[in-house]
Amino acid sequence: MKAFFRAVLASAALAAGTLFTAQAGGVGTSKDYKGPTGLQLYSLRDEFAKDVRSTLDQIRKYGFKYVELAGTYGWLPRDFRQALAERGLKAVSGHFAYERWRDEPELVLRDAKALGLKYAGCAWIPHQGDFTEATCLDAARVFNRAGELAARQGIKFFYHTHGYEYQPHGGGTLFDLLMAKTDPKLVFFQMDLLWTVFPGQDPVKLLEQYPKRWVLMHLKDLKKGVKGDLTGGTDVKNDVILGTGQMNFPAIFKAAKKTKIKYYFIEDESPWSVTQIPQSLRFLERVSW
């Protein structure tokens, strides 16, 4: 009888160990893709506009632990952070308007500290018509100052690419100029996959070209057949479930692992994000190479 119970306990321990191993990387991870995978909360902007608390509850039900912010939906930063913590969620990154980084960076960083962020960045450089060299250089100055102030607070400043930066310039693009004119010790970058492929760039090549500058990634997939341009804009209905569009995720993830991307955030701007997000998570839990 003792031998029987020992066998039962051993079997239970093995099952528990297997379950722990499967979940060790967190939601949306596989044996090859380790994440960590978070959610950019802008994906559920329409839901947040209706009810912040229930939307945060939904995010936790998806299984996420990490999130990236794009505003706090009228809540004070400390209160939003508390609401996240009550649901076991942690904001590690956040986007703030360019104008605020330019005009009041100290106040941006005050908010970032109140939210407990490791990374604070900018996702859009205002411009009219085509992105220009002059605008690019102005942005570089703003970013260098932001990066310097952020570093003093123990925060990394980053810029989130949006596609219009790949205007031809010299032997490369204005994105290359932005890289050259920003301090590599102070200014980092977040690669948005859709806004890399849409303007005709190769995510793998860019990760390999600037391996020490990329720290974050937006996981998005672009509908098959969609032709891109340099506007930085496309119909949100072109955001599709990860793995069903144009992205070569195994190649991207292999390059991102070498680059040591710190966090990956699903961002789904489509009208169907509520149902697409869990399907994208399931894809990430199966992806392999």
Per the prediction, the chain carries an average pLDDT of: 92
pTM recorded for the entire structure: 0.91
Q: Residue 272: exposed, middle, or buried by beta-carbon count in 10 A (0-12, 13-18, 19+)?
A: middle
Query: Of 216, 213, 224, whose CA–CA distance to 246 is shortest?
Result: 224
Which amino acid does the sequence have at 3?
A
Integer angstrom CA distances of residue 187 from 49, 179, 201: 32, 9, 21
Query: Of 196, 209, 207, 96, whose CA–CA distance to 155 is shortest?
Result: 96
Query: Of 157, 153, 92, whose CA–CA distance to 121 is shortest?
Result: 157
Asked if residue 172 lies in contact with residue 209, where contact means CB atoms within 8 angstroms, the answer is: no
pLDDT per position as a tens digit, 227-263: 999 999 999 999 999 999 999 999 999 999 999 999 9
> What CATH number belongs to 36-284?
3.20.20.150
pLDDT per position as a tens digit, 191-231: 999 999 999 999 999 999 999 999 999 999 999 999 999 99
Show the tokens assigned to 226.
């969609």
Tell me the backbone φ, ψ of residue 111, rounded to 5 degrees: -65, -40
pLDDT per position as a tens digit, 137-192: 999 999 999 999 999 999 999 999 999 999 999 999 999 999 999 999 999 999 99
Q: Which residues contact 12 (CB under 8 A, 6 or more apart)?
A: none
Give dist(CA 231, CA 176) in Å, integer: 17
The pLDDT score that the predictor gives to residue 15 is 37
The pLDDT score that the predictor gives to residue 25 is 61
